[in-house]
Structure 1
Protein backbone atom coordinates (compact mmCIF):
# COMPACT_ATOMS: atom_id res chain seq x y z
CA UNK A 1 0.00 0.00 0.00
CA UNK A 2 2.85 2.35 0.88
CA UNK A 3 4.56 1.59 -2.45
CA UNK A 4 1.37 2.42 -4.35
CA UNK A 5 1.03 5.68 -2.43
CA UNK A 6 4.66 6.64 -3.20
CA UNK A 7 4.15 5.74 -6.86
CA UNK A 8 1.02 7.93 -7.09
CA UNK A 9 2.83 10.88 -5.46
CA UNK A 10 5.70 10.53 -7.95
CA UNK A 11 3.34 10.37 -10.93
CA UNK A 12 1.32 13.39 -9.75
CA UNK A 13 4.55 15.37 -9.20
CA UNK A 14 5.68 14.68 -12.75
CA UNK A 15 2.29 15.58 -14.21
CA UNK A 16 1.95 18.81 -12.24
CA UNK A 17 5.39 20.24 -13.03
CA UNK A 18 5.61 21.60 -16.57
CA UNK A 19 8.66 20.48 -18.53
CA UNK A 20 9.14 23.92 -20.08
CA UNK A 21 7.35 27.22 -20.04
CA UNK A 22 4.99 28.19 -22.86
CA UNK A 23 5.69 31.89 -22.43
CA UNK A 24 7.78 33.85 -20.02
CA UNK A 25 6.25 35.84 -17.17
CA UNK A 26 6.61 39.21 -18.93
CA UNK A 27 4.92 37.98 -22.12
CA UNK A 28 2.09 36.34 -20.21
CA UNK A 29 1.50 39.48 -18.17
CA UNK A 30 1.61 41.67 -21.31
CA UNK A 31 -0.93 39.64 -23.30
CA UNK A 32 -3.32 39.44 -20.33
CA UNK A 33 -3.02 43.18 -19.63
CA UNK A 34 -3.51 44.01 -23.34
CA UNK A 35 -6.42 41.57 -23.53
CA UNK A 36 -4.97 40.08 -26.71
CA UNK A 37 -4.31 36.34 -26.50
CA UNK A 38 -5.33 32.88 -27.64
CA UNK A 39 -6.07 30.02 -25.25
CA UNK A 40 -5.15 26.77 -27.05
CA UNK A 41 -6.95 23.73 -25.59
CA UNK A 42 -4.85 20.55 -25.32
CA UNK A 43 -7.19 18.38 -23.23
CA UNK A 44 -10.90 18.39 -22.41
CA UNK A 45 -12.24 17.12 -19.09
CA UNK A 46 -16.00 16.65 -19.10
CA UNK A 47 -17.95 16.46 -15.87
CA UNK A 48 -18.17 12.84 -14.88
CA UNK A 49 -21.52 11.14 -15.18
CA UNK A 50 -22.57 7.59 -15.94
CA UNK A 51 -23.41 8.40 -19.58
CA UNK A 52 -20.20 10.32 -20.25
CA UNK A 53 -18.10 7.70 -18.47
CA UNK A 54 -19.54 4.96 -20.68
CA UNK A 55 -18.65 6.91 -23.83
CA UNK A 56 -15.17 7.77 -22.59
CA UNK A 57 -14.62 4.12 -21.75
CA UNK A 58 -15.30 3.29 -25.40
CA UNK A 59 -13.21 6.19 -26.76
CA UNK A 60 -10.20 5.84 -24.48
CA UNK A 61 -8.55 2.90 -22.83
CA UNK A 62 -10.37 1.46 -19.82
CA UNK A 63 -7.68 2.80 -17.46
CA UNK A 64 -7.74 6.37 -18.78
CA UNK A 65 -8.28 9.36 -16.52
CA UNK A 66 -11.33 10.73 -18.34
CA UNK A 67 -9.37 13.51 -20.02
CA UNK A 68 -9.75 13.70 -23.79
CA UNK A 69 -6.58 14.51 -25.70
CA UNK A 70 -7.14 17.35 -28.18
CA UNK A 71 -3.60 17.60 -29.56
CA UNK A 72 -3.57 17.69 -33.34
CA UNK A 73 -6.83 19.67 -33.31
CA UNK A 74 -7.06 23.44 -33.29
CA UNK A 75 -9.56 24.19 -30.54
CA UNK A 76 -9.13 27.63 -29.04
CA UNK A 77 -10.58 30.71 -27.40
CA UNK A 78 -9.43 33.99 -28.96
CA UNK A 79 -9.70 37.02 -26.66
CA UNK A 80 -9.26 40.57 -27.94
CA UNK A 81 -10.37 43.94 -26.57
CA UNK A 82 -13.32 44.07 -28.97
CA UNK A 83 -14.28 40.39 -29.33
CA UNK A 84 -14.20 36.86 -27.94
CA UNK A 85 -14.31 33.96 -30.40
CA UNK A 86 -14.74 30.41 -29.09
CA UNK A 87 -14.19 27.22 -31.07
CA UNK A 88 -14.16 24.40 -28.50
CA UNK A 89 -15.62 20.89 -28.41
CA UNK A 90 -18.25 19.80 -25.91
CA UNK A 91 -18.45 16.37 -24.29
CA UNK A 92 -21.24 15.82 -21.83
CA UNK A 93 -24.96 16.11 -21.35
CA UNK A 94 -26.96 18.87 -22.97
CA UNK A 95 -30.31 19.77 -21.43
CA UNK A 96 -31.76 21.32 -24.57
CA UNK A 97 -31.54 19.91 -28.08
CA UNK A 98 -29.74 21.82 -30.80
CA UNK A 99 -31.12 20.91 -34.21
CA UNK A 100 -28.23 22.39 -36.21
CA UNK A 101 -25.19 20.05 -36.22
CA UNK A 102 -22.96 22.98 -37.22
CA UNK A 103 -23.74 24.58 -33.84
CA UNK A 104 -22.43 21.63 -31.81
CA UNK A 105 -19.68 22.32 -29.32
CA UNK A 106 -18.91 25.69 -27.79
CA UNK A 107 -18.85 28.02 -30.78
CA UNK A 108 -19.63 31.71 -30.67
CA UNK A 109 -18.39 35.13 -31.67
CA UNK A 110 -19.14 37.83 -29.10
CA UNK A 111 -18.69 41.57 -29.44
CA UNK A 112 -20.40 42.41 -26.13
CA UNK A 113 -18.84 40.74 -23.09
CA UNK A 114 -17.43 41.40 -19.65
CA UNK A 115 -13.74 40.73 -18.96
CA UNK A 116 -12.57 40.75 -15.36
CA UNK A 117 -9.00 39.84 -14.42
CA UNK A 118 -7.67 39.35 -10.91
CA UNK A 119 -4.02 38.83 -9.96
CA UNK A 120 -3.55 35.94 -7.52
CA UNK A 121 -1.40 36.37 -4.40
CA UNK A 122 0.91 33.48 -5.26
CA UNK A 123 1.26 34.41 -8.93
CA UNK A 124 -0.95 33.95 -11.94
CA UNK A 125 -4.35 35.37 -12.86
CA UNK A 126 -8.03 34.52 -12.72
CA UNK A 127 -9.95 35.83 -15.73
CA UNK A 128 -13.75 35.73 -15.93
CA UNK A 129 -15.38 36.24 -19.33
CA UNK A 130 -19.16 36.48 -19.69
CA UNK A 131 -20.49 36.97 -23.24
CA UNK A 132 -23.68 39.05 -23.28
CA UNK A 133 -24.74 38.64 -26.92
CA UNK A 134 -24.64 34.83 -27.10
CA UNK A 135 -27.76 32.66 -27.25
CA UNK A 136 -26.83 30.48 -24.24
CA UNK A 137 -25.77 32.22 -21.03
CA UNK A 138 -22.17 31.17 -20.42
CA UNK A 139 -19.49 31.99 -17.90
CA UNK A 140 -15.89 31.20 -18.77
CA UNK A 141 -13.20 31.27 -16.11
CA UNK A 142 -9.50 31.06 -17.04
CA UNK A 143 -6.95 30.19 -14.36
CA UNK A 144 -3.56 31.23 -15.79
CA UNK A 145 -0.06 30.55 -14.43
CA UNK A 146 2.82 32.96 -14.88
CA UNK A 147 4.36 30.61 -17.46
CA UNK A 148 1.24 30.71 -19.63
CA UNK A 149 -0.40 27.40 -18.76
CA UNK A 150 -4.13 27.69 -18.16
CA UNK A 151 -7.32 25.87 -17.23
CA UNK A 152 -10.60 27.05 -18.73
CA UNK A 153 -13.88 26.21 -16.96
CA UNK A 154 -17.06 26.71 -18.99
CA UNK A 155 -20.40 26.96 -17.19
CA UNK A 156 -23.55 26.97 -19.32
CA UNK A 157 -27.23 26.97 -18.31
CA UNK A 158 -28.14 24.32 -20.90
CA UNK A 159 -25.16 21.95 -20.54
CA UNK A 160 -22.99 20.24 -17.98
CA UNK A 161 -19.83 22.14 -17.03
CA UNK A 162 -16.62 21.23 -18.85
CA UNK A 163 -12.95 22.12 -18.29
CA UNK A 164 -10.06 22.43 -20.70
CA UNK A 165 -6.33 22.44 -20.02
CA UNK A 166 -4.01 24.28 -22.37
CA UNK A 167 -1.80 27.30 -22.73
CA UNK A 168 -1.89 30.96 -23.71
CA UNK A 169 -0.08 32.38 -26.70
CA UNK A 170 0.10 35.76 -28.34
CA UNK A 171 -2.60 36.42 -30.93
CA UNK A 172 -1.25 36.63 -34.46
CA UNK A 173 -1.29 40.14 -35.86
CA UNK A 174 -3.06 40.67 -39.17
CA UNK A 175 -0.77 42.21 -41.84
Structure 2
Protein backbone atom coordinates (compact mmCIF):
# COMPACT_ATOMS: atom_id res chain seq x y z
CA UNK A 1 0.00 0.00 0.00
CA UNK A 2 2.67 2.49 1.05
CA UNK A 3 5.08 1.45 -1.68
CA UNK A 4 2.26 0.82 -4.19
CA UNK A 5 3.19 -2.84 -4.44
CA UNK A 6 0.70 -5.50 -5.32
CA UNK A 7 0.13 -8.28 -2.78
CA UNK A 8 1.82 -10.79 -5.08
CA UNK A 9 4.97 -8.65 -5.35
CA UNK A 10 4.99 -8.17 -1.55
CA UNK A 11 4.64 -11.92 -1.03
CA UNK A 12 7.46 -12.55 -3.49
CA UNK A 13 9.78 -10.05 -1.77
CA UNK A 14 8.85 -11.43 1.64
CA UNK A 15 9.56 -14.99 0.49
CA UNK A 16 12.97 -14.02 -0.91
CA UNK A 17 13.91 -12.24 2.32
CA UNK A 18 12.87 -15.19 4.46
CA UNK A 19 15.00 -17.41 2.21
CA UNK A 20 18.00 -15.06 2.56
CA UNK A 21 17.63 -15.07 6.34
CA UNK A 22 17.19 -18.83 6.68
CA UNK A 23 20.61 -19.38 8.30
CA UNK A 24 20.05 -16.45 10.64
CA UNK A 25 16.74 -17.94 11.75
CA UNK A 26 18.39 -21.33 12.21
CA UNK A 27 21.20 -19.81 14.28
CA UNK A 28 18.84 -17.90 16.55
CA UNK A 29 16.60 -20.93 16.99
CA UNK A 30 19.62 -23.11 17.79
CA UNK A 31 20.98 -20.69 20.39
CA UNK A 32 17.59 -20.35 22.04
CA UNK A 33 17.14 -24.13 22.00
CA UNK A 34 20.56 -24.53 23.63
CA UNK A 35 19.58 -21.95 26.26
CA UNK A 36 16.35 -23.80 27.06
CA UNK A 37 18.13 -27.15 27.30
CA UNK A 38 20.80 -25.65 29.56
CA UNK A 39 18.20 -23.95 31.76
CA UNK A 40 15.79 -26.89 32.04
CA UNK A 41 18.55 -29.45 32.61
CA UNK A 42 20.03 -27.39 35.44
CA UNK A 43 23.31 -26.72 33.66
CA UNK A 44 23.14 -22.95 34.08
CA UNK A 45 22.40 -23.31 37.78
CA UNK A 46 25.29 -25.74 38.19
CA UNK A 47 27.69 -23.50 36.29
CA UNK A 48 26.41 -20.46 38.20
CA UNK A 49 27.05 -22.24 41.50
CA UNK A 50 30.56 -23.13 40.35
CA UNK A 51 31.28 -19.57 39.17
CA UNK A 52 30.10 -18.26 42.52
CA UNK A 53 33.31 -19.78 43.86
CA UNK A 54 35.03 -16.65 42.56
CA UNK A 55 33.24 -14.80 45.35
CA UNK A 56 32.68 -11.08 45.22
CA UNK A 57 35.32 -10.79 42.48
CA UNK A 58 32.79 -12.29 40.08
CA UNK A 59 30.92 -8.97 40.06
CA UNK A 60 33.93 -7.46 38.29
CA UNK A 61 33.89 -10.29 35.73
CA UNK A 62 30.14 -10.57 35.24
CA UNK A 63 29.82 -8.29 32.16
CA UNK A 64 32.37 -10.43 30.32
CA UNK A 65 29.83 -13.27 29.98
CA UNK A 66 27.34 -11.00 28.21
CA UNK A 67 30.13 -9.56 26.06
CA UNK A 68 31.29 -13.01 24.93
CA UNK A 69 27.73 -14.26 24.45
CA UNK A 70 26.76 -11.36 22.22
CA UNK A 71 30.06 -11.26 20.35
CA UNK A 72 29.61 -14.94 19.47
CA UNK A 73 25.84 -15.09 18.84
CA UNK A 74 25.38 -11.53 17.59
CA UNK A 75 22.36 -11.11 19.81
CA UNK A 76 22.07 -9.62 23.28
CA UNK A 77 18.78 -11.47 23.64
CA UNK A 78 20.52 -14.78 22.93
CA UNK A 79 23.29 -13.96 25.40
CA UNK A 80 20.66 -13.16 28.02
CA UNK A 81 18.82 -16.40 27.29
CA UNK A 82 22.10 -18.29 27.69
CA UNK A 83 23.54 -16.55 30.74
CA UNK A 84 20.85 -14.69 32.74
CA UNK A 85 20.00 -17.68 34.94
CA UNK A 86 23.70 -18.36 35.44
CA UNK A 87 24.25 -14.73 36.53
CA UNK A 88 21.24 -14.86 38.85
CA UNK A 89 22.40 -18.10 40.47
CA UNK A 90 25.94 -16.81 40.95
CA UNK A 91 24.63 -13.56 42.45
CA UNK A 92 22.38 -15.38 44.91
CA UNK A 93 25.20 -17.72 45.98
CA UNK A 94 27.64 -14.85 46.42
CA UNK A 95 25.16 -12.56 48.15
CA UNK A 96 25.20 -9.83 45.49
CA UNK A 97 22.06 -8.21 44.09
CA UNK A 98 20.91 -10.49 41.27
CA UNK A 99 19.46 -7.56 39.34
CA UNK A 100 22.94 -6.04 39.15
CA UNK A 101 24.56 -9.10 37.61
CA UNK A 102 21.73 -9.80 35.17
CA UNK A 103 21.89 -6.13 34.10
CA UNK A 104 25.67 -6.47 33.84
CA UNK A 105 25.15 -9.41 31.48
CA UNK A 106 22.91 -7.26 29.28
CA UNK A 107 25.26 -4.27 29.41
CA UNK A 108 28.23 -6.46 28.55
CA UNK A 109 26.21 -7.74 25.62
CA UNK A 110 25.66 -4.21 24.37
CA UNK A 111 29.41 -3.59 24.44
CA UNK A 112 30.02 -6.90 22.64
CA UNK A 113 27.52 -6.08 19.91
CA UNK A 114 30.00 -3.87 18.07
CA UNK A 115 32.32 -6.81 17.42
CA UNK A 116 29.70 -9.40 16.52
CA UNK A 117 30.09 -10.84 13.02
CA UNK A 118 26.74 -9.66 11.68
CA UNK A 119 27.26 -6.12 12.96
CA UNK A 120 30.65 -6.04 11.30
CA UNK A 121 29.06 -7.21 8.05
CA UNK A 122 26.33 -4.57 8.32
CA UNK A 123 28.87 -1.84 9.08
CA UNK A 124 31.08 -2.91 6.18
CA UNK A 125 28.13 -2.89 3.81
CA UNK A 126 26.88 0.48 5.08
CA UNK A 127 30.18 2.26 4.48
CA UNK A 128 31.18 0.43 1.30
CA UNK A 129 33.91 -1.72 2.85
CA UNK A 130 32.55 -5.17 2.02
CA UNK A 131 35.33 -7.71 2.54
CA UNK A 132 37.11 -5.43 5.02
CA UNK A 133 35.28 -6.70 8.12
CA UNK A 134 38.60 -7.71 9.70
CA UNK A 135 39.84 -4.12 9.40
CA UNK A 136 36.68 -2.85 11.08
CA UNK A 137 37.05 -5.49 13.81
CA UNK A 138 40.67 -4.49 14.35
CA UNK A 139 39.59 -0.87 14.92
CA UNK A 140 36.48 -1.66 16.96
CA UNK A 141 38.07 -4.25 19.27
CA UNK A 142 40.11 -1.80 21.39
CA UNK A 143 37.00 0.33 21.92
CA UNK A 144 34.95 -2.70 22.85
CA UNK A 145 37.56 -3.98 25.29
CA UNK A 146 38.05 -0.51 26.77
CA UNK A 147 34.32 -0.07 27.34
CA UNK A 148 34.15 -3.59 28.77
CA UNK A 149 36.89 -2.78 31.29
CA UNK A 150 35.08 0.41 32.36
CA UNK A 151 31.83 -1.54 32.64
CA UNK A 152 33.51 -4.26 34.73
CA UNK A 153 34.86 -1.62 37.10
CA UNK A 154 31.48 0.09 37.44
CA UNK A 155 29.63 -3.18 38.09
CA UNK A 156 32.30 -4.34 40.52
CA UNK A 157 32.11 -1.07 42.44
CA UNK A 158 28.30 -1.14 42.38
CA UNK A 159 28.47 -4.47 44.19
CA UNK A 160 30.29 -2.71 47.05
CA UNK A 161 29.30 0.20 49.28
CA UNK A 162 31.43 2.51 47.09
CA UNK A 163 28.79 2.71 44.35
CA UNK A 164 26.17 0.39 45.83
CA UNK A 165 24.01 3.39 46.67
CA UNK A 166 23.25 3.69 42.94
CA UNK A 167 21.24 0.48 42.85
CA UNK A 168 17.47 0.65 43.26
CA UNK A 169 15.95 -1.36 46.07
CA UNK A 170 13.33 -3.94 45.20
CA UNK A 171 10.62 -5.28 47.43
Considering fraction of residues, name the structure with more helix. 2
- Pick 1 or 2: higher relative contact order, CA cutoff 8 A, min separation 6: 1
TM-score normalized with structure 1 length = 0.25
Considering fraction of residues, name the structure with more strand. 1
TM-score normalized with structure 2 length = 0.25
Greater radius of gyration (CA): 2
